[in-house]
Amino acid sequence: MSIAESILAGDTRSLARLLTQVENGLPEGRRSLDELFPHTGRAHLIGVTGGTGTGKSSLVDRLALHYRRPPSGEPRRVAVVAVDPSSPFTGGAVLGDRVRMGDLAGDPGVFIRSMASRGSLGGLAQATAAVVQVFDAAGFDPILIETVGAGQAEVEIARLAHTTLVVEAPGLGDEVQAIKAGILEIADLLVVNKADLPGADKTTRALKGMLGLAHPAGRKASPAWIPPVLRTVALDGTGVDELAESIDRHAAHLRASGEWERRERLRLEAELETRLTAALSERLRARVGEGHYREALERMARREVSPAEAVESLLEREDAASI
């Protein structure tokens, strides 16, 4: 039985082994990914983004607990992929504090994976996409993709998701400054966590005000969906059932409006582009040879050729080498 077949049969150890291969970009993972890919495209991918101090991770844990022990209906197998792109120089996952899942310890229906950057943003986005595919094929649904912060990196990773939650909390400074236009535009749901703290009303009002401004020109949201502003207290679970309901409503809206398929397409296109770019760069260096690549760089450093001229000469050399 191949590792992919074991995963499709529900073997958790094979799953963990493949995730490690995929995270580390090992070539062994490639064949398994190809084998699993036809089984992907079923899970609801939920992005959760927000700054430090918003309690975003606790909220993700609460959502996972909700899906495992729903007030009604069947429990769902849930995966959490926690990504920290702001720590580019560490090799391992920095989210070592992910030991808050006491209530779910030992539950094989929950799988958590932390990922730190591996040098480049493109590399991280690619590895995250692959990890999500593995969970998807393995039958986890939903898959929660948690990102720290609110920069371009998070926006790139949020592109993976069908539904994007942006989490805020009261008292993190000037809300109007803290919430960037770009982040608001990717939000399908806004969550004011720590809603029991003073200032929660103010934060909620500020968010609703900004939504009013942002949504005439909304980009990702289709006109029929106005992002709701929800209030939660992750610490005791207040509002989490309502949040999960709202997430389900969003999924239903996406499917009914054709938006689900459109986002799926955008997602796949972004993945194709990322992988293509990496493969092209690798092929050029192999064909041109490290010596000529270095020489182009040296000539740039001596200011004999401009960057654009260096690129041209490398492209020409690759063409000559490929004939």
Measured from the CB atom, the residue of 13 and 279 that comes closer to a copy of itself is: 279
User: Is residue 127 within the footprint of a copy of itself (CB under 8 A)?
Assistant: no
> Segment 277-306, which members bind a copy of itself (CB under 8 A)?
277, 279-281, 283-284, 296-297, 300-301, 303-306
Q: Which range touches a copy of itself (CB under 8 A), out of 189-197, 232-240, 248-256, 267-275?
A: 267-275
Q: Is 323 in the site for a copy of itself (CB under 8 A)?
A: yes
Q: How far is the CB of 236 from a copy of itself (least distance, A)?
A: 21
- Is 181 a binding residue for a copy of itself by CB under 8 A? The answer is yes
Binders of a copy of itself among residues 27 to 86 (CB under 8 A) are 30, 33-34, 37-41, 52-53, 85-86
309 binds a copy of itself (CB under 8 A): yes
For a copy of itself, the binding residue among 46, 132, 143, 150 (CB under 8 A) is 150
d(CA 201, CA 99): 31
For residue 5, the minimal CB distance to a copy of itself (Å) is 16
Nearer to a copy of itself, 73 or 96 (CB): 96
- In the complex with a copy of itself, the residue whose CB is nearer, 180 or 249, is 180
Q: Is 264 a residue that touches a copy of itself (CB under 8 A)?
A: yes
